[in-house]
Structure 1
């Protein structure tokens, strides 16, 4: 890599790594350490091809998704997420703070399979159409639809306190919640 390409790569990493890390955290079910490893490995792969990449962010995201798919195909053992204090089990809808809501969402996402989590992240966090999700994950559009349906149903079952938020209340929550799904009662 020449000096100019090296500089543009460093700028890209400095400017976009936090957004890419958020996606990686969601793909890893809230495990920040795995997400950091996932992002670091993706950036290492991208660095070798940097001169040939036309859309760097899209390319890095594609590498993230594909690496995560490879991880769950290998069926790596799941790790527990350690937190200082366990989140509340049944907080009232009007008393749910943004931090509690993120913890509940993170916990529920962590209980989904890696494929379910990947589909939800791509569909709702990345806001990709079903056709793009099927292309990225290497499956049919029907598989994306059925996995999305089953994943949302399981998410609702795992986190009923999210279903207590109606569409109006969910819209009033701060946008930094990074919730990849819209939960309807």
Structure 2
């Protein structure tokens, strides 16, 4: 395996930040996003000499991130357990702006909904591309995105408008 280390390094330096943002949207967690991107870049490095079309490198890495993330979902055990008691929520100052609020709302979505929405609206993938990437039907993509967007809309209702709904 002959890998042009300098070419790979240049690619990672130039595209790393953008790819990390995608990874964060997929995982909803900064630490998991770094792990996900690292795993995807490792796979990309191993396949570097087989990737003929250098203009599709971002697509290759994003696809690797989605596949790895799906594998991680399948391996994860239940980490949250239902409880009769609702924990107290700490009061946070309301200094968040729209983007931070959207990030937090995305973080609260189930992983599949978050992934479908990120691929649809951040990566501008078609429903059929998302279906192929996630290994689900187009109908499932449509319903998943629709449910996720409904949750986001409910989560992002501006203050004072709750009474109208």
TM-score (norm 1): 0.72
Q: Does 1:86 align with 2:92?
A: yes
Instruction: Report SS of the residue matched to 1:160.
Output: coil
Q: Given the two structures, how large is their TM-score scaled by the length of structure 2? A: 0.81
Q: Is the 8 A contact 1:109 1:155 kept in 2?
A: yes
State which of 50, 75, 84 in structure 1 corresponds to 2:48. 50
* Aligned equivalent of 1:34: 32
Cα distance in 1, alignment partners of residues 153 and 123 from structure 2: 20
- Report 1:14-163 matches (<5 A): 14-29=13-28, 31-54=29-52, 55-75=56-76, 77=79, 86=92, 88=94, 100-161=97-158
Question: Which structure 1 segments of 5+ residues have no match?
Answer: 79-84, 89-96, 165-184
Give 2:84's aligned residue.
none
RMSD (CA atoms): 2.2
1:125-145 CA distance string (max 9 Å, x none): 001110000000000000000
C-alpha distance in structure 1 between counterparts of 2:152 and 2:93, whole Å: 16
Q: Does 1:6 align with 2:5?
A: yes
> CA separation in 2, counterparts of 1:87 and 1:113?
25
Residues 43, 60 of structure 1: 8 Å contact kept: yes
How many residues get paired?
147
Structure 2 residue matching 1:127: 3-state secondary structure: coil
SS at match of 1:161: coil
Deviations 1:43-62 (A, max 9, x none): 11111111001332111110
